Structure 1
Amino acid sequence: MKTDKQGTYIKGTKKALPDGWMTGAFRFAVFPTDEQKPRLERAFGCERKVYNEYVAGLYAHLESGGFSGGFLAYNVPNYTTITSRFDFLDRSNDSFVYNDAKIRFQAALKKYNETYAKRPLQHKKSVRKKMKNGDMPSLQDVKGLPKFHSRKQGKFSYTTNQTNGNIRIGEKNGAAFLRIPKFPEGLRLNLHRALPSDGIIKKATIKREGDRYMVAVSVDYPFEQAPLKTQIETADITALDYSQSDLYRDSEGRKAEYPRFHKLIEKRQRRLNKSLARKKNHAPLDENGQPVYSKNYQRTVKNYQKTMAKAANQRKDFLHKKSDQITNDYDAIVVEDLDLTNLAQCLKLGKKLHDNGFGMFRNMLKYKAERKGKHYLVADRFFPSSKLCSACGTKKENLRLSERTYACAHCQAVIDRDHNAALNLKNYGIRTLSDSGFLAEPVSI
């Protein structure tokens, strides 16, 4: 919705932030009481149940129509058609819990139509191997289709939206409390930084990460963006070439020295998975044939989730610090437009790619550079940064991925492959800035 100059929303209008306003998320740690934790877990489970029912309905629709790829034309029903079939999906939960499941499902459909609908029907690589032996794949094996959320690695979160001031942060006895629907008493939180005084809370997302509870408060607030940098010196330009083991190699030859946090926990993750598998195999069955999990199993699941959440938080912390450092030190950052989805298909490359989070790192660089008035440049996907010689510009047509040192047959230059690519990306950025008039001294490279 539109807002007036005082930040008050005008009813009956679509959302369009005024000039100088932006939407930001503020994350805080939440400390629910022992009585509040089961209510939050119930909300997470109900959201997951409704989402899975949406996925099951989609699969039934596709099977009845003989789905063989293409655009998904599916009329998503209202969540009330699902909640009415299950007694435990009652009004004890915030209605936005169920609406959030519908929004996430619609987002998954949109992602499939934008990314996979125009491609031939594809299956997972592990499934393709089984298909060679005569096994028939299911819709769950189709790449890109919405998948069921599991209790072990599912989405332990839900989003509630602002309606008539039902989301607010207050103070009681010197402690900060977040008041949201169905929690009028408030959830205690660590308000380590104040929200913008003239900001407007739009929604709040409650999430469990391992054994910790977090809230992300979305706020619309006025933001004075730094003016775009002009007259940029070549020394204030850096280029980052993607590196499987080190995250990136910059144009100065420096490595990011990424610790590979997931690799550090692989041994513990494997041990916990084995423990969960044993407990699941020995669990008794109920009258419906479903396993009855013990409290020890539930504790092991929490330990598994805590281990994975720690690695994810370490990764985000590392990437935030690196992106802050780069956007503070340089006026222009050049990266390459890699197709990370295709890279992730290779088993040898995909594991490291998911570990280092290079796609997340590029997003951080982009929005931080824009806020600081810096230039964020993306080289064309077909720019041959690895095949060009950074010294003489000669292109080496046949360059294998195993060649980690670039040797130019024309000028006899010998240089590290990733460093050479980063230098070519920097030259690309210099030309781009020179053509647009932002370079202090235009050059021809």
Structure 2
Amino acid sequence: MKKGYRYRIYPDKEQITLLEQHFGSVRFVYNRSLFIKNLMYSKFKINVSEVDLNNNLTSLKELHPWLKDLNSQSLQHANRNLLIGFKNFFEGNGAYPTRKNKKNNKFSFQVPQNYQINLSTSQIYLPKIGWMKIVLHRDFLDKEFVENELVTKEVNGEIILDQKLNKKFDILKTLTVSRTSAGRYHASILIDDHVPEPELVEFDENTTVGIDIGIKSFAVLSSGEVIENPRFLKNSLMKLKKLQRAVSRKQKGSRNRRKAIAKLAKQHQLVANQRNDFQHKISMKIISENQAICIEDLNVRGMVNNHCLAQSISDVGWSEFIRKLIYKAEWYGKTIIKIGRFEASSKLCNICGYKKDDLTLNDREWECPSCKTLHDRDLNASFNIKNIALNNLNTAGTAGRACGLTDNGQGEEARSLSF
């Protein structure tokens, strides 16, 4: 099973310059390869392969000698990322690849091999850049596994894990270096421990929970639990406005403007970190307490087009929360069951099945005209999501057969079922 571990790194001034050169060079190679690939196909109907693009790097380095000072494997990986983008596009899993812009604040490059990690002093070595401090706040591999299964070297009494020495084990995969808009550098290590995914845990009605995610409450579970919406963005909105005004008042291109932009970026980073930490804790709690989770397949991209709700929807982060639920379910053998986005979860009485078509977003409670049951809108929706998901599952077949169902639009979600 593959997992990625992200750590904060602290380069010095010279290393920051080298990192920025790698970011820019990888972007340059990506854009140049995209131009070549589009040109060759539009003019001559020739499909340029990864080998052709990598061979072109030799002539590219002659035209631009500064490319020789950088890690050649990182430049080659830019071509691979481009071809992966084309593959995803033709498979219907992404948009057509476009040019990378240095103003989009997405800076990263890959180091496929030859990196080292000093486990004794918490330092990491990157080719062409050198050793720098890394905060290993958690182990990416068990210490016993490293001592017994991997090859380490000892230098001056320090234990160093070298990716090159362990290449045959194929455990230490690609390392990705990235920078956030707040100027923080991170290293993400991809690990493949070759442990197969756990078998799906059997579930029934008692071990299944339905989740209705919303804006007023972050999530309401069919068990009756209500998770309040922390509204991290709304709580920081006044400070963000103040910092944004400070940026607007500074002269463009000045040093004070750069300082003001950095303060604004750090505040945005704080909000993002708060939301991410909250979602990790909630998703882990839900996965640990239940064997199957029923959710709605929401059209979040379409919903944010409503300018009245766009900020609140973006603040709550539905898509990212569902993504966390799905991959954590894969880790622990749990099942995610999705129902269609057009199912009447809120308008349907979970007792008698009456459908209230005139229900609006402002109606937080409503009484069923048929059975006279007073419903909380969100709690009733969570009951219906669970019932609809289980009914669809029983209609499709037994639980064992249904776990083998796949959906073309959800190809990457091996353990989630969509109806």
Q: Summarize the alignment of residues 168-183 of structure 1 with structure 2, pairs less than 5 Å apart.
A: 168-171=116-119, 174-183=120-129
After TM superposition, give the deviation of residue 33 of structure 1 in Å: 2.2
- Amino acid paired to 2:188: A
Gaps of 5+ in 2: 150-168, 401-419
Query: What is the distance in 2 between the residues matched to 1:301 and 1:75?
Result: 41
Match for residue 427 of structure 1 among 387, 397, 409: 387
After TM superposition, give the deviation of residue 83 of structure 1 in Å: 5.0
CA distance change for structure 1 residues 322 and 83 in 2, over 3 Å: closer, same or farther? farther
Partner of 2:13, secondary structure, is coil
After TM superposition, give the deviation of residue 307 of structure 1 in Å: 2.0
Deviations 1:350-400 (A, max 9, x none): 322222221121121122223222222111333322222111012233443
Structure with the largest fraction of helix: 2
Match for residue 220 of structure 1 among 187, 192, 198: 192
After TM superposition, give the deviation of residue 296 of structure 1 in Å: 2.6
Deviations 1:76-123 (A, max 9, x none): 983757955974752222234434444454555556666699xxxxxx
Contact 2:108 2:179 in 1 (8 A): yes
CA distance change for structure 1 residues 116 and 208 in 2, over 3 Å: closer, same or farther? closer
- Amino acid paired to 1:98: L
CA distance change for structure 1 residues 317 and 366 in 2, over 3 Å: closer, same or farther? same
Query: What is the distance in 1 between the residues matched to 2:308 and 2:11?
Result: 42
Match for residue 351 of structure 2 among 387, 391, 396: 391
Partner of 2:309, secondary structure, is helix
Query: What is the distance in 1 between the residues matched to 2:35 and 2:79?
Result: 13
Matched residue, 2:246: 275
Identity %: 28
Partner of 1:175, secondary structure, is coil
Contact 1:112 1:145 in 2 (8 A): yes
Q: TM-score, normalised by structure 2?
A: 0.75
Matched residue, 1:307: 267
CA distance change for structure 1 residues 29 and 112 in 2, over 3 Å: closer, same or farther? same
Matched residue, 1:436: 398
Partner of 2:179, secondary structure, is strand
Q: TM-score, normalised by structure 1?
A: 0.71
- Structure 1 range deviating more: 326-335 or 104-113: 104-113
Matched residue, 1:190: 135
Matched residue, 1:27: 6
CA distance change for structure 1 residues 116 and 372 in 2, over 3 Å: closer, same or farther? closer
After TM superposition, give the deviation of residue 424 of structure 1 in Å: 0.5
Matched residue, 1:43: 22
Query: What is the distance in 1 between the residues matched to 2:232 and 2:40?
Result: 41
Aligned residues: 366
1:161 equivalent to 2:112? Answer: yes
Contact 1:44 1:155 in 2 (8 A): no
After TM superposition, give the deviation of residue 54 of structure 1 in Å: 6.5
Contact 1:159 1:206 in 2 (8 A): yes
Matched residue, 1:318: 278
- Amino acid paired to 2:241: R
Matched residue, 2:166: none
Query: What is the distance in 1 between the residues matched to 2:245 and 2:65?
Result: 32
Matched residue, 2:214: 243
Q: Summarize the alignment of residues 199-218 of structure 1 with structure 2, pairs less than 5 Å apart.
A: 200-209=171-180, 210-218=182-190
Query: What is the distance in 2 between the residues matched to 1:88 and 1:151?
Result: 21
Matched residue, 1:17: none
* RMSD, matched Cα: 3.5
